[in-house]
A and B are shown apart, each in its own frame.
Chain A
């Protein structure tokens, strides 16, 4: 159901990953993603899976939560895998009617699926171990040099904080409204696409109204507490780069070298 969405979920903890500076983690995720797209051999993927598994172990978060995060992309996974399998030109292995499965197709399909799964797991590692506040703080700090050329870094960070903060609230609200309308006999499951889209109005209108109302109330509450943008605002928690951050950054070149190295090693076709 709607509650299965793990986006933006954070599991408090004291693991190594929790303690890293969010800016360092952000950089790491960026590197992780870029290098993931450079990986193109079985060796490279094995390497990536092992590293990711170690990181999951280090984070102290149950593996189950990572699989849960994968649920929304199952369709995408299957879809891309099937398309890749059939639509890639190459040496056919077997035929299904006019469609043929090629060796290259299977290879690309498997790699693509792995890539997507690793992508989700990698980003989940960041969001699971970093509180949304820390994350937006990091983004603000990274963007702050650009504020000289007119990028409103603090406003962007505040907007993101608020947006993330309200995801669970809005989900809960949606759940409530769906139940209330169901209790009035609303039917969201039957009918064609047009009828179903129309059936969404009893959910969307109250949802929008309450979202606007909340935004309004929040704005008033913030003004009452003298919020006037980021200028001169100090923080409760200062971000500081510590020894483990430096150490972890040293692994970036190591990963880079390993990935480049793995590209030279294609075992047969794989």
Chain B
């Protein structure tokens, strides 16, 4: 569980005119939920997750992970990596080893796992992201962009953190690859009972996997709640430059035209079931 209390962060405290990147953040991330962090470009999402993973120290406020104050000087980032694992925006630029296998093994090795454990973890992680054994000995630099992304995500999954944070994991991927990664991450969450925080700009993706949504606007938390709680406030989302899923707009239009359909529909799959129910009934 992560508790963020009154956290503020400024990138350049010397120049107050630039203001804080995030301000007054109060947030609780509970176990075993799939969170989605949404917000306009520059709203502070990346900054917030770097704060939560201990890579940035807040200028004010405190952050607790499982009751441990991570702002404490004695806590090393390295010890936090067991609890929280982050996959950054465009993580393919962090690859450096000569084979896919050893690159994914970098994290577990740093955690001090033994050979057998490392092997086991790497195999599981690569399987999760859909890369089979034929990739193990390939140089990561010979892979396509999307495959590199998968290797990088596997690198963090192999560390088996309690909370997995993904910063726009699907940006620039093809639709099939996007769905595959999303569903694998969701399955991982259900299997291990971990929490996932995913930054995304696609409301469709959010609707597909998340059960909780955190909305950021101009460095503040604008809303938090379940998927339907947040998506039901479409006007507020619009005012922050955000949207609701396309299909929900269709449903809203249908309701405006006196079609008797429930409003809490956010994925095409749900819409299909509801509409066919309507047509039959």
Contacts and interface: CB of A to CB of B under 8 A. Distances in A.
Interface of A: 3, 64, 68, 173, 176-177, 179-187, 201-202, 205-206, 209-210
Given A202-B96, A206-B93, A183 B55 contact: yes
Interface string B1-34: 0000000000010100000000000000000000
A184 B141 contact: no
Given A64-B14, A176-B88, A209-B141, A184 B94 contact: yes
A184 B55 contact: no
A90 to B, nearest CB: 42
Q: Is the interface of A mostly helix, strand, loop or mixed?
A: helix
Given A180-B88, A183-B85, A184-B159, 12 more contacts: A173-B93, A176-B93, A180-B93, A183-B55, A183-B77, A183-B88, A185-B107, A185-B110, A186-B106, A186-B110, A206-B94, A206-B95
A270 to B, nearest CB: 36
Interface string B85-121: 1101001011110000000001100110000000000
Given A180-B88, A202-B106, A209-B141, A185 B78 contact: yes
Nearest to A213: B93
Contact of B107 (A3, A64, A184, A209): A184
Nearest to A179: B55
A150 B74 CA distance: 59
A177 B155 CA distance: 14
B117 to A, nearest CB: 14
Nearest to A199: B110
Contact of A177 (B12, B55, B93): B93
A185 B107 CA distance: 6
Contacts of B195: none
B50 interface: yes
Contact of B81 (A68, A177, A185, A202): A185
Sorting the interface of chain B by its residue count into under 10, 10 to 19, 20 to 34 or 35 or more gives 20 to 34
Contacts of A205: 96
Given A185-B78, A187-B78, A205-B96, A180 B110 contact: no
Interface string B48-90: 0010010100000000000000000000011001000110100
B55 to A, nearest CB: 5
Instruction: List 10 A-B pairs, minimum CB-CB distance, nearest first.
Output: A185-B110, A205-B96, A180-B94, A184-B107, A185-B81, A183-B86, A179-B55, A202-B96, A182-B77, A180-B88
B32 to A, nearest CB: 22
B170 interface: no
Contacts of B159: 184-185
A111 B131 CA distance: 64
**Which residue of A177, A183, A205, A210 has the most chain B CB atoms within 10 A of its CB atom?**
A183
Contact of B110 (A173, A176, A184, A210): A184
Contacts of B123: none
Given A185-B111, A206-B93, A206-B96, A179 B88 contact: yes
A201 B88 CA distance: 19
Contacts of A179: 50, 55, 88
Contacts of B200: none
Nearest to B94: A180
Given A64-B14, A206-B93, A210-B93, A183 B141 contact: no
Nearest to A64: B14
Contacts of A180: 88, 91, 93-94
Contacts of A64: 14
B220 to A, nearest CB: 23
Nearest to B79: A185
A235 B94 CA distance: 39
A186 to B, nearest CB: 6
5 contacts: A180-B88, A184-B110, A185-B106, A185-B110, A185-B111
Contacts of B78: 182, 185-187
B43 interface: no
A195 to B, nearest CB: 13
Contacts of A184: 81, 94, 106-107, 110, 155-156, 159
A181 B94 CA distance: 7
Interface string B132-153: 0000000001000000000000
Nearest to B88: A180
